């Protein structure tokens, strides 16, 4: 009896400390019909559904727009490693904990060393070419899109062409949208909502 009481108290404390999203985190059983195909596609390719996608599923139009935007950028000229650097930098800029956690993992999968993951979060890189692009994007975010001409020229001199720079700006916009949803919705880091559901069901 005493053991059961102690376990219940421990579970209650754990439940209180588990972050909860302001938006419902959907799966393919609870999402609006228009979101289900996208969620099932994500589950088929990734295994676990990120909390961000579960939240975005509350709006089929927003989810479809995000999925299409992301897919198009993944088939552009920027490498996956560059896109992951941008995602890490933007997540850090907005203090999006889910974004930082996810892109720290996916950045490593894309070939970024631990020090490069840390560098990207500060809009820099040991690679001079990548660093020039990240400096440009940092100014873009910090100045409401008004990037100084010398940073634009630096990026061009480092080897980035117009198509790549435009894709990089698009990637910033996509990752900023992701971060704003995560921050505004207080979306928990992946895994924490599943823990919360398990505790509530116990």
26 and 65 share one domain: yes
Decide: helix, strand or coil at residue 163.
Answer: helix
97 and 140 share one domain: yes
| Cα–Cα distance, 42 to 38 (Å, whole number) | 6
What local confidence, expressed as pLDDT, does residue 64 receive? 96
Report whether pLDDT(12) > 80: no
Of 29-33, 46-50, 111-115, 130-134, the one with minimum mean pLDDT is 46-50
Cβ burial, residue 68 (10 Å; 0-12/13-18/19+): exposed
114 and 44 share one domain: no
What local confidence, expressed as pLDDT, does residue 145 receive? 87
The b-or-e profile of 119-153 (16+ CB within 10 A means b, else e) is bbbebbbebeebbbbbbbbbbbbeeeeebeeebee
Cβ burial, residue 57 (10 Å; 0-12/13-18/19+): buried
Closest CA to 88 of 75, 98, 78, 74: 98
84 and 166 share one domain: yes
Report whether pLDDT(16) > 90: no
162 and 177 share one domain: yes
163 and 89 share one domain: yes
Report whether pLDDT(199) > 70: no
State the total domains in the chain. 2
Which residue range(s) make up the domain with 47?
Answer: 2-71+191-201
Which residue do the tokens 């999402």 mark? 31
Question: What's 96's domain CATH number?
Answer: 1.20.1290.10
Q: How confident is the model at residue 19 (pLDDT cuts 50, 70, 90)?
A: low
| Cα–Cα distance, 73 to 80 (Å, whole number) | 10
82 and 34 share one domain: no
104 and 164 share one domain: yes
What local confidence, expressed as pLDDT, does residue 76 receive? 96
CB atoms within 10 A of CB 110: 18
43 and 89 share one domain: no
3-class SS shares of the chain: helix, strand, coil, % to 5: 70, 0, 30
Q: What is the DSSP string of 26-85?
A: --TTTS-GGGHHHHHHHHHHHSS--HHHHHHTTSHHHHHHHHHHHHHHHTSSS-HHHHHH
105 and 43 share one domain: no
6 and 62 share one domain: yes
137 and 153 share one domain: yes
């Amino acid at each position: 009896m005493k053991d059961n009481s102690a376990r219940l108290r421990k579970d209650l404390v754990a439940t209180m400390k588990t972050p909860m999203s302001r938006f419902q985190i959907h799966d393919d059983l609870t999402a609006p019909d228009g979101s289900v195909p996208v969620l099932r596609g994500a589950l088929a390719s990734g295994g676990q559904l990120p909390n961000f996608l579960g939240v975005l599923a509350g709006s089929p139009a927003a989810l479809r727009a995000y999925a299409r935007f992301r897919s198009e950028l993944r088939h552009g000229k920027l490498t996956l490693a560059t896109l992951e650097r941008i995602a890490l930098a933007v997540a850090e800029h907005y203090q999006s904990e889910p974004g930082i956690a996810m892109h720290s993992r996916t950045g490593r999968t894309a070939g970024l060393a631990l020090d490069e993951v840390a560098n990207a979060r500060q809009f820099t890189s040991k690679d001079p070419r990548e660093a020039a692009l990240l400096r440009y994007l940092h100014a873009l975010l910090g100045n409401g899109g008004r990037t100084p001409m010398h940073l634009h020229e630096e990026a061009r001199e480092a080897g980035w062409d117009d198509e790549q720079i435009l894709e990089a700006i698009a990637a910033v916009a996509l990752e900023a949208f992701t971060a704003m949803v995560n921050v505004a919705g207080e979306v928990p880091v992946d895994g924490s909502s599943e823990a919360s559901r398990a505790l509530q069901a116990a």
